[in-house]
Amino acid sequence: MYLARVIGTVVATQKDESLRGVKLLVIQPLDSFQNNMGAPVVAADTIGAGYGELVFCAKSKEGAMPLRDPNAPVDAGIIGIVDSIHNEIKGR
């Protein structure tokens, strides 16, 4: 699992049948000091995350598991909204 920030939304009318009704958000993956890590990706949301929120995500097949169709073609899924992080290693 990795941290990410929600940076936008995606609207797609023509998409795979199993993605109907699924909320798609653009997320920027972060390292644990909340610095950007790699390029933004599109993730499926089932917990009601919003723009600007710090979330944590599951990769690949696990990302689709909270969806109505767990076999939906999704490779990142938002699975929780972060309240707080405690890190013994100080930030960079």
Name the residue with tokens 């993605």.
Answer: 19
Cβ proximity to other proteins, 14 vs 77, nearer residue: 77
Which 42-81 residues touch other proteins, going by CB under 8 A?
A: 46-48, 56, 58-63, 65-66, 70, 77, 79-81
Residue 78 and residue 34: Cα distance in Å, rounded? Answer: 16
Cβ proximity to other proteins, 40 vs 62, nearer residue: 62
Cβ proximity to other proteins, 26 vs 59, nearer residue: 59
Structure tokens at 44: 């499926």
Size of the site for other proteins (CB under 8 A): 31
Residue 79 and residue 30: Cα distance in Å, rounded? Answer: 15
Q: Is 39 in the site for other proteins (CB under 8 A)?
A: no
Smallest distance from other proteins to CB 48, Å: 7
Residue 14 and residue 17: Cα distance in Å, rounded? Answer: 9
